[in-house]
Homo-oligomer: A and B are copies of this chain.
Amino acid sequence: MIIIRKVKEMRRRASDWRKEGKTIAFVPTMGFLHEGHISLMREGRERADVLVVSIFVNPAQFAPNEDLDRYPRDFEGDEKKCRTNGVDAIYCPSVEEMYPAGYQTFVNVREISQGLCGASRPTHFQGVATICAKLFIAVKPHYAIFGEKDYQQLQVIRRMVKDLDMDLEIIGMPTVRESDGLAMSSRNKYLNPDERRRAPALYQSLKAAKATFKKGERDPNKIVGIVKKALKKAEPCEIDYVEVRDALDLTPIERIGNKPAVVALAVKIGATGLIDSLVLKT
């Protein structure tokens, strides 16, 4: 396994792999790797000849009031997990390497970045799209693998790749959960024992929504009501949003019809923002 810290080296290695006819799978991460990331690595390991994992806590996707500085980091642990899971290269550039003095280029994926998490984090998906564009351009992957847990992020990236004519396939993988249903996330580490005990209510509320949908409910407002009621088990908590949206372009829907639909939520338990989502209809 090699460690790559410079853009130029990453580009050169990727070009060489491509010239040798090798396929490249890529898993972008912010590190502090958990079972969710590892499921993405396994998928990449199966799909391609070379598996690259990036570890980069991207300042551009954090607002000034967010948790950039205290975002959990554990490079040594991550390195071990990558080695155990067949990773060929870790790409871990410094902030100065990615955003040197004078840096001023940003990618915006407009409509799909608005609403949901974009409402309270208006520059977040610009940061995500920009770093993913840079990573895809340098790593030149055939496949890039993302978790469905960050559902809006996945759709933003899909749209960007399509719009910018990028020649790679985006693979979305199912959310990996703890045994009690809590979606795995590096941020779960922030939860104190009591908060952790309440956190599974998020997934339970989504399952309640799906059960209602399966029984025939097609009114998004009613489904949102079911979720909010079920979220009472997480109290005290602060609901950022609960919404039913078109599962692909994330536009609001008035009634669930033939098109795919997703229910998504963001909740603050204590100081920790948690998100989760469940596709109601594919």
Contact = CB atoms under 8 A, between A and B. Distances in A.
Counted per complex, copies of this chain come to 2
Contacts of A104: 109-112, 159, 163
A173 to B, nearest CB: 23
Nearest to A107: B107
A11 interface: yes
Nearest to A93: B165
B102 A110 contact: no
Contact of A249 (B19, B21, B102, B163): B102
Interface in A145-178: 159-160, 163-167
29 contacts: A7-B165, A11-B165, A11-B167, A18-B18, A18-B19, A19-B19, A19-B21, A102-B159, A102-B249, A103-B163, A104-B109, A104-B159, A105-B108, A105-B129, A105-B159, A105-B160, A105-B164, A106-B110, A107-B107, A108-B108, A133-B164, A134-B163, A134-B164, A134-B165, A137-B164, A137-B165, A137-B167, A138-B165, A138-B167
A15 interface: yes
Contacts of A108: 105-108
Contacts of A105: 107-110, 129, 159-160, 163-164
A167 B8 CA distance: 8
Contacts of A21: 19
Contacts of A249: 102
Nearest to A19: B19
A102 B63 CA distance: 28
